[in-house]
Structure formats: C-alpha cells, structure tokens
Amino acid sequence: MSIRISDRIQSRGAVAARYYSLNGATPQVIDGELVEEGLACISINGEELATFMCSPRDLDKLALGFLLNEGIISGLDDVADLRVADNGACVDVWLTKGEWSRPQRTIITAGCGGGITFDDLSQMHAPLEGTAQATPEQLAEMMRQMHLGAALYQRARGIHTAALADGEKILLQVEDLGRHNCLDKLRGAAILEGVETMGKIVLSSGRISSEMINKARQLGTPIVCSRTSPTSLSVALAEAWNITIVAYLRQDRMRVYTHPERVLGSERMRDWE
C-alpha cells in the first residue's frame, strides 16, 4: 500500500491522501482523506502545563474540558482569557486569579498515544446520585445516531468520537484521535454551550479505561456506553461510583457490567434473580 499526503485541509480536520484500495480485484486509486494529527500544548498564565497528541481542532474545548476535569478551574469565571495560537499548536489560558499551583504528580494513562492526568484515582470519591435510566433500545439508537453523526470518521476513519445524550437524542458530539481527548472536548463543549451534563449519558467509540470512567464521574454521567470493552479497573471504579457501564453496544447486542438496573429495570432484575 502506498500513501501520498498532499496539501492540508485546514478547516476539515483532515488531510487529502491518495491510496491504492485492494479488495480482491484490480487495485483502485482512491483520492481520500486521512485524519490530521498534531501536537498541541496548553499553557496557563504563560507557563506550559501539558502537551497532547490530538486532532488539532476544537482546541478551546479540549483545553477547557481538560482544565475542568483536572480541577485546575471550576468554571468559566476562572478564565480571564483563552486564545488559540494562529498555528493551531497552542492554547494560552489566562486565569482570573493571578496564581495557580501546578499539580505535583503527572500520570501517563493508557490512552491513545499516552494520555495525561494529574488526578489520583486512589482517592475516595462519592458515588453519583440520580435516577437516570435508558432502555437497551434507546441506547442502541443513540449509539447509531452517534455513529452517523461522526462526520470526520465517515470521511476519513481513524478517529474517535464521543457524545452526550439525554436518553432520546444526542446533545453534543465531538471527535479526536484520543478517546480521552474526546471526553475533555465534550466537557469543554458543554460549558461553552451551556449544556448540563449531570444525569446524562456518555457514549464513546473507544475503550472505557480508568481515566475514561473518571472523566465520566466528573461529568456526572451515571451511564457510560462504548462500542468496545471496559477494563478491570474501570469496572471496579464504576461499581464504587454508582456508574453503569454498557460495553460492546451494537444494535441488539450489549454487555452491562455494573449497576444494570438503570438499563434492565429493577423489576426485571428481581425476576432474573
């Protein structure tokens, strides 16, 4: 297989690419696209905090969501100014409070390319409250909506997507190379657009690992769905934090790992027991 990358398509999050497609017949030359990958840094008050491998678009949402999820800011009132550099490689955030404390511990997570978090998952957190529920049919339909709404994935493949839903429809949707970046962007989009995340449902195309379930906890979403698998630590944390994990979600198939009553119903659960 041969790939030639041509000029960047700045506004679409992808680059044009010509490749040879082999499908049991004569190779075909295809003019398609590849998702764009780049480095982007977040600086606070002129001091670099973290550098990501990511999809270099919606960086304002990525920066705000990351800072919220890491507890460095608690809302937009903490931000005096936010600017994305012209080259799209840095987000400069200036806080209303002049001083801030850099986290002492950096954890490289199991995210795509090695995610970054400063949160210590060994700390105790209160379980999520709320009565959010969704039927298996509703979850399957929302996963279908998310798949159809993943515009960049439909064009170029090779990218993750995440969505916030209310049980009936998709409220927000984002895309990024990193599944963990998607949840940061989702929280950033929510605060910018004034969408409440508490009690909602998160859907993700990527694996649900410990840092993903921790970001879901911070979003306050008691139901987390994925097209793929959870990890042992994410299941243990979800059990403790009162979060329902639904994995391998496909139309009429899914696996419910924790707190199944939100999806299967308490009465049905009693019948089975």
Contacts 24+ apart (CB under 8 A), 215-218: 215/69, 215/180, 215/183, 215/184, 215/187, 216/183, 216/243, 217/125, 217/128, 217/241, 217/243, 218/68, 218/69, 218/187
State the Cα–Cα distance between residues 11 and 8, nearest whole angstrom. 9
41 in active site: no
- Measured between alpha carbons, how far is residue 165 from residues 123, 177, 199, 271 in Å? 28, 21, 10, 29
Catalytic: which of 90, 112, 182, 225?
A: 112
The identity of residue 106, as a single letter, is T
Question: Distance between CA 142 and CA 145 in Å, rounded?
Answer: 5
Catalytic residues: 112
